[in-house]
Amino acid sequence: MEDDAPVIYGIEFQARALTAQTAETESIRFLVGTQSLKYDNQIHIVDFDDENNIINKNVLLHQVGEIWHLSASPADKSVLTTCYSKTSDSKVVTCAAVWRMPKELESGNQESPDDSSSNPQTLELLCHLDNTAHGNMACVLWEPMGDGKRLVSLADNHVQLWDLQGSSNKAVISSSATLEGKGQLKLTSGRWSPHHNCTQVATANDTAIRGWDIRSMSQIYCIENAHGQLVRDLDFNPNKQYYLASCGDDCKVKFWDVRNINEPVKSLEDHSHWVWSVRYNQSHDQLVLTGSSDSRVILSNMVSISSEPFGHLVDEDDLSDQEDNPQEDKRKEPLQDSIIATYEEHEDSVYAVEWSSADPWLFASLSYDGRLVINRVPRALKYQILL
């Protein structure tokens, strides 16, 4: 029996890095990275068994340092990247590396061995994304739908395109761009667009959002003051190629059409503190998740700016039929945007929200105290969207 009740998993360390295991489309699996200064850091592989509503976990050791960002290969279930901090010459630097998990853990639906936490396994280092010359790594982005061989890293004011060679045990920078100008030029986050043949990346620095064409490594748009304060996260609409969501420390979530950067298409002010994470549902782009330092996760129905503003996919013929016969169908009114649900299971800042790559109706959120919460889109809404 499918249940709408949340499932909660606690990690004994603080944590801020979360990703779905992108290449895993059969079973529901999330990866969580810890931040501990005292103990070895860990990556928790969290498998959710939705039939029995239980979580199975496995723990991998990540001894090199605190994990700030995690990203899973789109092509190989066992490969992931971490951005982590370590102390070098009494300075803290943030590095990035590509890792492989043990073969027996790469697919979901594992039964947890009872001693998995007391007997964690280790990650195999494939290669470092070695850019000591270029400052601190903020995040690593995999090419969407790619073969798992191309990555973009954001480090200080540099955007770098990497090729993984051989069996991913060597990383080479194939091109790079540098953010020029005055003020705070540190890149804080970014997303690789799944559209335009995967040739575009968006980055955030300070209050600005920039688009880059990675073929020429040139800037294609810049939204100067996208937010009143720091931009924390970005995401592309999976179905509308020019649409981008952003969130930030001004407590707002904004939706942009990058062809018209003067003002957002829509702006939400439903959180009461910094908004750290925004994610479009990959199958139903009207469903948008946000997580904030107000300890809440909000699921919004942004149907008016989705690819299905009338509750179904719109094509041009529909619109012209409507002009011919305006009486025909009352359902042709666009549906209203609304908050679907506010989730209050966290007691600390929610740093990350992610949709499952296997089940479009299921998502996870992670707060700094190490609490991972798995929730489902309310059933009534699910059937409304499907039927």
Name 45's Cβ contacts closer than 8 Å, sequence gap at least 6. Answer: 21, 29, 31, 57, 58, 59, 60, 101, 105, 110
**Residue tagged 């529909």 (tokens):** 318
DSSP sequence for 314-339: --HHHHHHHHH-TTS-GGGSPPPPEE
User: Chain-centre distance of CA 89, in angstroms?
Assistant: 32
What SS3 class is residue 3? coil
Query: Which DSSP helix (H) or strand (E) runs through 382?
Result: helix 379-386
What pLDDT score does 320 carry? Answer: 52
Task: Provide the 10 A C-beta neighbour count for residue 34.
Answer: 22
What pLDDT score does 1 carry? Answer: 42
What pLDDT score does 92 carry? Answer: 86
Helix count and strand count (H, E) for the chain: 2, 29
- Per-residue b/e over 294-323, b at no fewer than 16 CB within 10 Å? bbbbbbbbbbebbbbbbbeebeeeeeeeee
Name 59's Cβ contacts closer than 8 Å, sequence gap at least 6. Answer: 42, 43, 44, 45, 116, 117, 120, 121
User: What is each CA distance from 245 to 27, 175, 278, 330, 379, in whole angstroms?
Assistant: 27, 27, 7, 30, 25
What pLDDT score does 122 carry? Answer: 92
Name 188's Cβ contacts closer than 8 Å, sequence gap at least 6. Answer: 138, 154, 204, 205, 206, 230, 231, 232
What SS3 class is residue 305? helix
pTM: 0.91
Q: Report residues of the chain scoring pLDDT below 50.
A: 1, 115, 330
Q: How far apart are CA 65 and CA 96, in angstroms?
A: 11
Query: Please, are residues 343 and 299 in contact by the beta-carbon 8 Å criterion?
Result: yes
pLDDT tens digits along 186-211: 999 999 999 999 999 999 999 999 99
